Amino acid sequence: MRNRHRSSRYGRYSGGPDPLAPPVDLAEALDAVAENVMSGYSPEQAMREFLRRGGRNQRGLDDLARKVHQRRRDLLRKHRLDGTIQEVKELLEKALREERNQFLRDARMDPMDRQFREMQLDSLPTSPAAAVTELADYDWQSDTARQHYEQIKDLLGREMLDQRFAGMKQALENATDEDRQAVAEMLSDLNDLLDKHARGEDTPEDFEEFMAKHGDQFPENPQDVDELIDALAQRSAAAQRMMRSMTQEQRDELMSLSAQAFGSPELMSQLERLDASLQALRPGEDWTGSEQFDGDQGLGLGDGTGVLQDLADLDSLAEQLSQSYSGSTLSDLDIEALSRQLGDDAAVSARTLAELEKAMQDSGYLRRGTDGDLKLSPRAMRKLGQSLLRDAAGRISGRQGRRDTRLAGAAGEQTGSSRAWEFGDVEPWDVTRTVTNAIGRTAAAGQDPVKGLRIHVQDIEVRETEARTQAAVVLLVDTSYSMALNNRWVPMKRTALALHQLLSTRFRGDRLELITFGRYAQRMDIGELTSLPAWHEQGTNLHHGLLLAGRFFRQHPNMQPVLLVVTDGEPTAHLMTHGEAWFSYPPDRETLTTTVTELDKVTRQGAEITFFRLGDDPGLVRFVQAMAQRAGGRVVAPDPEDLGAAVVGEFLRNRYADPVWDTDWD
């Protein structure tokens, strides 16, 4: 049996997204979206903001939109629409020059005939269209001049066709009479097909028959009659817009010249019939628009129509990139049009953004709520918490000069001894004892441990730990308007997320309560706090916050109470006996008294209390210091960006006498 060899060729991949391209960076997208959510955006708005802005190595929609607008401006500034008229003028001047030269060369020419012809040429109208029309019956003496004049009619025919069928100008260059007849036959058949379609009488076989006969003149390769009509209508509408973009004088010139196309009015009759059919079949196209061109590069009718199509493409892309219409998604982007107008790099950027948008939802980071709006999912909250916790741990390690180590004692404090592993144990292995046991067992069995050592379950020993007291932790965060006004709103939320992640993953036995206090205090879960918008609310009701904290501690009487208070202002509100909040600035005596009274109650519950003071207002400094001294607590005054590290570090200080941290808490 003969072997068959298959040859392979290598080239640039063109079948869609690059299969070797790196995956989209969801981590960067999630961080950006979450940061915007914490700043007050809805998740939907935050996602749109990231897509508009882009990432570190990723162009966003705004950048692509700027390039679209720049290309549109460049097209209008570069071109003018009298290219065909100028080309006709040049050919006409060549024809007249050659004809006059022939008068001089032909010594046998009758002097009276020469004088008459010279007067006829000298008296031609200044309008190229009128001059071409007047010369229609002129008997040219120069063959070269006659050829230039015939080129005018040929040029006009090719330009008129190129307006409706891209590429016709080049395809029909040096065309024969048979070629022109084939075009005339195609136009007639096309108009007949469109008429049948308008009446609802056409069949798929009619389209297939038409394409079998004339398909080589349609490089778009339409698959059915609707695709054919779409392509033709877009081009025809662009041709109409081009005519309306010309001056009245230019339009008049071209309309007069069009009668000379291919030396017969039949072409224009067929094209007018085609335009009318297309406008009736696709009235939604822009048939009436116009543009203002002010460049110095003349465009022929076909090229000008192509530029008008480009402008329509760019307008459509601008709308798609704006994502401002109802139900818009990046899957609406016409990647092919973007590549055609801005190049492959722009198409890759747009495709990557669309993949990011889809991946964010498919990955579970964003999900639709019952109200239809996008929300950060619990998975996204965990991922974000991991990132913020790593950042806090890194800041702690860097600030205190500590070496990164694995967080120990999550299940209790080590005693220094070990014991055999039992099912259900989560304590860390004693590696030295485990390996020693394996070596001893292997040697006792008469085997050489050097040649191969296997650890069996009975070899494993774990480090013994003492039970660790569980903690009931309350994080009280100030949500008065001054927090947002002084750029402390987002750091406050980042702090809550980091602490929530720490307790959720490393201190699962502890309980965390998040309490916000503005005019009133309220309990919140981490999702509510993360998406909490900044509002203009007067009041710092620490009294109400301490009241809710004390209630939480009483619900967990067997846990060590830990209270962490983040605030940037003195108390300016308190709850009255009927439950309404009383506000006063500067703080009145009753507000301070009720707040101190509630602090004393929390202190008597044995709470370890730390105040995190944001700001250097003298009144705030005095108040916080006095409260901490009264409760036997501490005051920490971090920069807002270090708040997360300060709170996490303080929590760990309360949990361990000699704490160690880990920057890999995920």
> Quick one: pLDDT at residue 602?
93
Distance CA 72, CA 315 (A): 8
**27-51 per-residue burial string, b: 16 or more CB within 10 A, e: under 16:** ebbbbbbbbbbbbbbebbebbbbbb
Q: Nearest to residue 305, comparing CAs of 231, 403, 206?
A: 231
For residue 66, the one-letter residue type is: R
CATH topology of domain 471-655: Rossmann fold (3.40.50)
* Whole-structure pTM value: 0.56
Where are the chain's structural domains? 26-79+328-376, 82-173+216-292, 413-466, 471-655
Distance CA 227, CA 247 (A): 33
> Quick one: pLDDT at residue 430?
83
> Quick one: pLDDT at residue 550?
94
Q: Taking a C-beta distance cutoff of 8 angstroms, is the pair 312, 286 a contact? A: yes
User: 292, exposed or middle or buried, with CB in 10 Å at 0-12, 13-18, 19+?
Assistant: exposed
Q: What is the mean pLDDT of each run of 10 residues along the chain (666 residues)?
A: 45 50 65 69 72 79 87 82 83 92 86 89 87 88 91 81 76 75 87 92 92 86 91 86 81 75 72 89 86 75 76 84 77 86 85 78 68 66 68 60 38 63 70 86 80 83 67 89 82 83 79 90 85 77 94 92 89 88 87 92 91 87 91 86 80 59 40
> Quick one: pLDDT at residue 377?
66
> Quick one: pLDDT at residue 407?
37
User: 315, exposed or middle or buried, with CB in 10 Å at 0-12, 13-18, 19+?
Assistant: middle
Q: Taking a C-beta distance cutoff of 8 angstroms, is the pair 161, 122 a contact? A: no
* DSSP label of 404: P
Distance CA 581, CA 519 (A): 7
> Quick one: pLDDT at residue 85?
83
Q: Taking a C-beta distance cutoff of 8 angstroms, is the pair 302, 239 a contact? A: no
Distance CA 93, CA 568 (A): 84
Q: Taking a C-beta distance cutoff of 8 angstroms, is the pair 480, 537 a contact? A: yes
pLDDT, one tens digit per residue, over 467-526 is 457 888 898 998 888 887 888 888 888 888 888 888 877 777 888 899 999 889 999 888
Q: What is the 3-state secondary structure (H, E, C) of 140-202?
A: CCCHHHHHHHHHHHHHHHHHHHHHHCCCHHHHCCCCCHHHHHHHHHHHHHHHHHHHHHHHCCC
Half-sphere exposure of 384 (CA within 13 A, CB side): 27
> Quick one: pLDDT at residue 396?
63
**80-98 per-residue burial string, b: 16 or more CB within 10 A, e: under 16:** bbbbbbebbbebbebbbeb
**Dihedral sign, CA of 396, 400, 405, 408?**
negative
